[in-house]
Structure 1
Amino acid sequence: MNAFFKIAFFALFIGSYLPGYSQEFETAIKERPVLKDARRNQKETRGRTVLSLPFFEDFTNTDYYPSADQWQDSMVYINNVLGRRIQSRGIATFDALNAKGLPYSPNSAFASVYADSLTSQLIDLSAHSPGDSVYLSFLFEGKGNGFAPQAADSLMLFFQRSNGSWAKVWEQKGAAMESFATALIPLTDTTLFHSDFRFRFVNKATFNVGNAHWHIDYLKMDTGRHYQDSINNDLAFSYWGNDDYNRSLLNEYMAMPYNHFDANRTVHYSGLLGMTLRNTWLTTQQANIVLQLNNSQTGANLITSPQQTFVPFNDRQGLDIAVPGTASVLTANGNEPFTIDAKAYWTQPVTGDYSAANDTITYRQTFSNYFAYDDGSAESAYYMSSYQGVPSFVAQEYALSVRDTLRGVQIYFPRQVPDAANKMFYLQIYRKIDVVDGQNEMVYEQTDLYPDYESRVNGFVTYRFDNPPVLDAGAFYVALMFPAGGFSDSLYIGLDKNKRGANFRYYKVATQWEPSLIDGALMIRPLVGKAIPVSVAAVGSSAMTIEVFPNPAGQYIKVKTGAEITGLKYTILDILGKELKAGTVHGAKIDLGTLAAGIYLINFRDAKGRLSQKKIIKH
């Protein structure tokens, strides 16, 4: 068989085989970058804090970490994005990540660990007894918008006795749950009624399998309760969005440049801002809700007329409030970044309502130099797995309202175990792709790029284009291409699972693009407009011009570089990514004598930190 027919046969084989092999996947996130520089107020607690009954916590007035007024530790993550069907805004999430958002077991792919804990401040129960009918109740959920705890995972509750020992009083084994459930635990042991009582939640997690996401909310401990006393009599804001839609003043984007918004308001402006309320009373509750908007650039503001809504008992209710598209609060001077800060609240509290803190909810609408479908928080990670020897692609669609310059792209690459810093990718810009437009038209490509985990800002790293393309108004696609060879697939990209509806994402292996079947928005943000300031930490084309030969090689390969490259170091990996050999290039050659015949990847790094990657065959 001659060479041409061998190649043709191989291409035909790959094209017919890959659709069943190459797939897109979703996996658990293995870091929480917003916690990297967050401030833990527990460190500021001084002296002895002793609480008394009643104890109540719905995690409303905290940012990222639990309040030091109520809690002694800071291992859980306070958020409003990882739970599903949240009752009151703010939940505490347990996972396999520590207080700084990093894995408890970073070097072991499937370690089972006792992970997060949440310990109350001291509670003086010395004046009480079992006859006072003291109960602790709380809501809990496994999975939510995260990943389901595995069968070996669990969430546990402990009470501290007067002798200092801890008694396990409740446990929930790993399972996926469609909504929050209620637990109600009585205090019947006389040894629990002392001045230094505490309770503690602990989760057991299997890292790299599901990360064991558990969420708790609405903790209440008080006297005079009974086994059916799970009602809190509370009307609360749960989250922005009406049934997961109208979460933004924009129709599809969560953020975009103002000049593109203003040039096509009829397409981009939703005209509505949605919110969801939850009523835990046994009677229908009425609220008169006001929406207040403030423009950070012009100072303009808007306060809507009170809108009456009725929330059925023990149910949730969505509400949309209209904002006129001509309102001055939506107008800006020029195209400098600005925000519109939104606050919704009811005009007067509900009589007898248990918590007033959740009667207000806030939101920030951003207009800046980027397009974003995501809200800045990743609930999971997206990756592709492709057939060895065939590149794979993923693209996300955007649209320009006016002619503009594409300056670069921001991407959130979550950390992986093992480390993925050596996984190469290309950035490509398309005006057309075949599944949408009937043909492919690539207008820009930047090659030999790598995920950067050290220069990130709020999780994102900026990739600056060397020769920024100027694009006319219309659709364009930001694509990541993972080169053939099996070394660069399975590179994680942040995925915002709170994005509902169309995902504007496509993927390709071999011949044709296909619509993505995984919900959510990839955390990829194209940058437009003015040149990216030098002060912004950004990655340009970090590749070096390096040649290696002969290839296939015998005992040695020769390395040819430009004169500007100095201090060149190398790392040789096998096809599974295992490091086999490392060193510094001397005499423009590398000794391969100890390696068996096979395919290898060589990563090069020079004194300036620039990277290059080559695949070789040793015979």
Structure 2
Amino acid sequence: MKKILITIIFLLPFFLLYAQEVLIDVGNPFLKEYSKQYFSQISVKETQEVDTLELPFFDDFAASFAYPDETKWMDQYAYIHNDYAIDPISINVATLDAIDEFGAVYTHLPSMSSDVAEYLTSFPINLNVDVADSVYLSFYYQAGGNGNVPEDRDSLVLQFKAPEGDWTSVWNVEGGEVMDTFQIVMVPITEEEYLVKGFQFRFMNYASIGTNYEPSWVSNTDVWHIDYVKLDTARTMNDTLAEDVAFISNFGSKLQGFESVPWNHFKVYAEDIVVDSLTFSYKSTYGEDTKNINRQVEIIDQYGTEPTYSMLDDSENILPMETINYTRYIPYEFNSDSEDSAKFLIKGYIKTDLTDETYPYRWNDTIRYYQEFYNYYAYDDGTAEKGYGISGQGTAYSSLAVQFTPLKADTIKGVYIYFNQVLNEENRNYFFLTIWDDDNGEPGDTIFQKIGAKPYYADEVNQYLYYSLDTSIYIYTTFYIGWVKTTDDMLNCGYDMNNDSGSHIFYNVGGTWEPHSYNGSMMVRPVFGFVYDEAAFKPQVVTNMDFDIYPNPANDYLNISAEEFVLGLSIYDATGRLVKHFDETSRMFIGDLNSGTYFVRPDSEFAVYKTKKLLIIR
């Protein structure tokens, strides 16, 4: 942390020695809003009864979004994402930490000791096999990653349970060590009490919150990442390679220097800002085999009628245990006939031979990135890995400012800011919303100030709170927007660790503007031109949506008719096991499925569909 320089102690009051830039771990901004949609959907949608799952049990979490797969896991405490882990085995991990399924800090956790925070619990599994069948449960874990590192009093625990028995701990690891790689764990299951139908396992973490010395800092802590969970027979202690080729990260923004810009600004200066390439990041976990990988890209105009762009002709070998970061020229210009906003889905695929052994891993060969254009400028990607602010004795009336240079002259209307929620809302203190002009690369004179602003945790666009300027200010060149805080406490602004715009952030404690000390982006988004009607602009998730599948009963092919845009379709067997998934939903081939009863559910971004029964008869 950067402290005020000791050489100025004779010029400034002594208390300024305690002022500092602070970067801390935080709660989950995304879950605060998405959890309301998710759990309301769970309560109304059709569900099927889950008896026991069959072997193999596998989950690398690539097929899940925000919460664990409901067909494999009983609880929703773990957070599924691709933001906090370092060098994951494949895209997406499950994270256990100190925030609940709604994104808030657990209030029962102590500060000087630890207690159980979260669980990740499997459904009952049919493990009715012999000891000679050599059953192993394996998984990878990482402590901390880009999140808070657990202390040595914190731990990650694995427990087993027989159908009529109690939970028993069979493995654990303590915190205290910084990890930037994933460690594999192989656990043999030889006890006959577990080799029965109805066996379960679960992960749980012990966590502790920060000290109350600085209440505005108390937020998420003690992060454990879990990946590539596999339970099966015919395994050994040396069975540590997944033999898979998987994406390990998503595409990034195709805008130079920004995550998003106003659509009306972009349309005028598109050629000056578009990046003409995309980077594929994927790795092989094969121990011996070299694989030929076909890389593909599709870009879909979701608000307009522009034709879909496709790149399908790119292949390269990947060596055993190799990681590839390949940048491909993609001459796409983001044209759309949409008027005031635009959104483009960028889908990436890596394809190789699909076998029975690799079929469970197929989810991790697809990534989706959304390039969005609305009415604001954004450096950040919308996810707060950390919290940032100025804190310490004597920091009341200090300032934070973020620099922006708009593509075109326009009227600024307001700003979206994301403030992290902390324990007991201790960061909800008044501030002056402020705009400064430019003075040779740093904030200059104040050109606007609004008193009486305060952090709130509102359900606004992308979970940000919108602060209106209540007046129109014409901006034609570089400007700075931020705040002057009124207390010594940190306001705790969301901070994105994946995009670095640190050179555009400045702070002022003692009368002099200082450059920012970290690599990341404050979650501050100035709004230009006009303000959307919030209810209309905010994507509405429609629950319990109906659809039709035909023919039903079916033989070799299946079709779907749905009102909302469908991203794909999943087919589950009677035990709840996913047996087939389609990204392309026109005339889907199901001739390789056995006769019987199945359950079908479409995938969509802004709709949750019913689950319907499908009969296959031959």
TM-score (norm 2): 0.78
Q: Partner residue of 1:141?
A: 142
Q: Partner residue of 2:193?
A: 191
Q: Partner residue of 2:559?
A: none
Q: Partner residue of 2:347?
A: 343
Q: Partner residue of 2:19?
A: 22
Kindly indicate whether residue 282 of structure 2 is the aligned counterpart of residue 234 of structure 1: no
Would the aligned equivalents of 1:123 and 1:198 in 2 still touch at CA under 8 Å? yes
Amino acid at match of 1:90: N
Would the aligned equivalents of 2:16 and 2:394 in 1 still touch at CA under 8 Å? no
Q: Partner residue of 1:574?
A: none
Q: Partner residue of 1:475?
A: 478
After superposing the two structures, state which structure 1 stretch, 407-416 or 250-259, moved more: 250-259
Alignment of 1:525-604 (within 5 A): 525-533=525-533
What is the Cα deviation at residue 297 of structure 1? 3.1
Kindly indicate whether residue 312 of structure 2 is the aligned counterpart of residue 309 of structure 1: no
How many Å separate the matches in 2 of 1:249 and 1:526? Answer: 20
Amino acid at match of 2:115: V
Would the aligned equivalents of 1:35 and 1:101 in 2 still touch at CA under 8 Å? no
Q: Partner residue of 1:513?
A: 513
How many Å separate the matches in 1 of 2:75 and 2:163? Answer: 21
How many Å separate the matches in 2 of 1:19 and 1:389? Answer: 7
Amino acid at match of 2:346: A
After superposing the two structures, state which structure 1 stretch, 379-388 or 40-49, moved more: 40-49
Structure 1 residues 413, 108: closer, same or farther in 2, change over 3 A?
farther
Kindly indicate whether residue 273 of structure 2 is the aligned counterpart of residue 268 of structure 1: yes
Indicate the RMSD between aligned Cα atoms, in angstroms.
2.5
Amino acid at match of 1:529: G
Kindly indicate whether residue 443 of structure 2 is the aligned counterpart of residue 446 of structure 1: no
Q: Partner residue of 1:77?
A: 79
Q: Partner residue of 1:498?
A: 498
How many Å separate the matches in 2 of 1:250 and 1:331? Answer: 14
Structure 1 residues 529, 173: closer, same or farther in 2, change over 3 A?
same
Amino acid at match of 2:114: S
Structure 1 residues 211, 390: closer, same or farther in 2, change over 3 A?
closer
Structure 1 residues 359, 109: closer, same or farther in 2, change over 3 A?
same
Alignment of 1:17-416 (within 5 A): 17=14, 20-31=17-28, 32-40=31-39, 45-105=47-107, 112-126=114-128, 128-174=129-175, 175-208=177-210, 211-241=221-251, 247-282=252-287, 283-300=289-306, 301-325=308-332, 327=333, 330-333=334-337, 335-346=339-350, 348-349=352-353, 353-354=358-359, 355-388=361-394, 390-416=396-422
After superposing the two structures, state which structure 1 stretch, 462-471 or 342-351, moved more: 342-351
How many Å separate the matches in 2 of 1:501 and 1:285? Answer: 37
What is the Cα deviation at residue 366 of structure 1? 0.1
Question: Greater CA radius of gyration, 1 or 2?
Answer: 1
What is the Cα deviation at residue 29 of structure 1? 0.8
How many Å separate the matches in 2 of 1:122 and 1:346? Answer: 33
Point out which structure has higher relative CO (alpha carbons under 8 A, 6+ apart).
2
Amino acid at match of 1:36: S
Q: Partner residue of 1:584?
A: none
How many Å separate the matches in 2 of 1:450 and 1:107? Answer: 27
How many Å separate the matches in 2 of 1:457 and 1:164? Answer: 47
Structure 1 residues 288, 411: closer, same or farther in 2, change over 3 A?
same
Deviations 1:164-214 (A, max 9, x none): 122211101113211111111100212111111000100011123661111
Structure 1 residues 441, 536: closer, same or farther in 2, change over 3 A?
farther
How many Å separate the matches in 1 of 2:474 and 2:358? Answer: 56
What is the Cα deviation at residue 285 of structure 1? 2.2
Would the aligned equivalents of 2:138 and 2:187 in 1 still touch at CA under 8 Å? yes
Would the aligned equivalents of 1:29 and 1:414 in 2 still touch at CA under 8 Å? yes
What is the Cα deviation at residue 21 of structure 1? 2.8
Deviations 1:283-322 (A, max 9, x none): 3322111111011233222112422233332132112222
What is the Cα deviation at residue 429 of structure 1? 1.1
Amino acid at match of 1:446: K
How many Å separate the matches in 1 of 2:531 and 2:365? Answer: 43
Q: Percent identity?
A: 28
What is the Cα deviation at residue 433 of structure 1? 4.3
Amino acid at match of 2:77: M
Amino acid at match of 1:306: D
How many Å separate the matches in 1 of 2:460 and 2:183? Answer: 37
What is the Cα deviation at residue 104 of structure 1? 2.0
What is the Cα deviation at residue 346 of structure 1? 3.3
Would the aligned equivalents of 1:18 and 1:510 in 2 still touch at CA under 8 Å? no
How many Å separate the matches in 1 of 2:158 and 2:42? Answer: 21
Would the aligned equivalents of 1:408 and 1:526 in 2 still touch at CA under 8 Å? yes
Would the aligned equivalents of 2:436 and 2:481 in 1 still touch at CA under 8 Å? yes
Amino acid at match of 1:481: V
Structure 1 residues 55, 410: closer, same or farther in 2, change over 3 A?
same
What is the Cα deviation at residue 106 of structure 1? 6.5
Would the aligned equivalents of 2:91 and 2:364 in 1 still touch at CA under 8 Å? yes
Would the aligned equivalents of 2:110 and 2:208 in 1 still touch at CA under 8 Å? no
How many Å separate the matches in 1 of 2:50 and 2:493? Answer: 44
Would the aligned equivalents of 2:136 and 2:189 in 1 still touch at CA under 8 Å? yes
Structure 1 residues 518, 77: closer, same or farther in 2, change over 3 A?
same
Would the aligned equivalents of 2:437 and 2:480 in 1 still touch at CA under 8 Å? yes
Structure 1 residues 516, 502: closer, same or farther in 2, change over 3 A?
closer
How many Å separate the matches in 2 of 1:24 and 1:279? Answer: 40
Q: How many pairs align?
A: 513
Would the aligned equivalents of 1:42 and 1:74 in 2 still touch at CA under 8 Å? no
3-state secondary structure, aligned to 2:239: coil
How many Å separate the matches in 1 of 2:319 and 2:135? Answer: 30
3-state secondary structure, aligned to 1:264: helix
Amino acid at match of 2:26: I
Structure 1 residues 38, 82: closer, same or farther in 2, change over 3 A?
farther
Structure 1 residues 537, 234: closer, same or farther in 2, change over 3 A?
closer
3-state secondary structure, aligned to 2:12: helix
Q: Partner residue of 2:551?
A: none
Structure 1 residues 213, 293: closer, same or farther in 2, change over 3 A?
same
Would the aligned equivalents of 2:503 and 2:515 in 1 still touch at CA under 8 Å? no
Amino acid at match of 1:524: V
After superposing the two structures, state which structure 1 stretch, 156-165 or 285-294, moved more: 156-165
> Unaligned regions of 5+ residues in structure 1, if any?
1-10, 242-246, 539-619
> Unaligned regions of 5+ residues in structure 2, if any?
1-7, 212-219, 539-618
Q: Partner residue of 2:578?
A: none
TM-score (norm 1): 0.78
3-state secondary structure, aligned to 1:149: coil
What is the Cα deviation at residue 265 of structure 1? 3.4
Amino acid at match of 2:161: Q
How many Å separate the matches in 1 of 2:410 and 2:59? Answer: 49
How many Å separate the matches in 2 of 1:308 and 1:523? Answer: 38
Structure 1 residues 207, 536: closer, same or farther in 2, change over 3 A?
farther
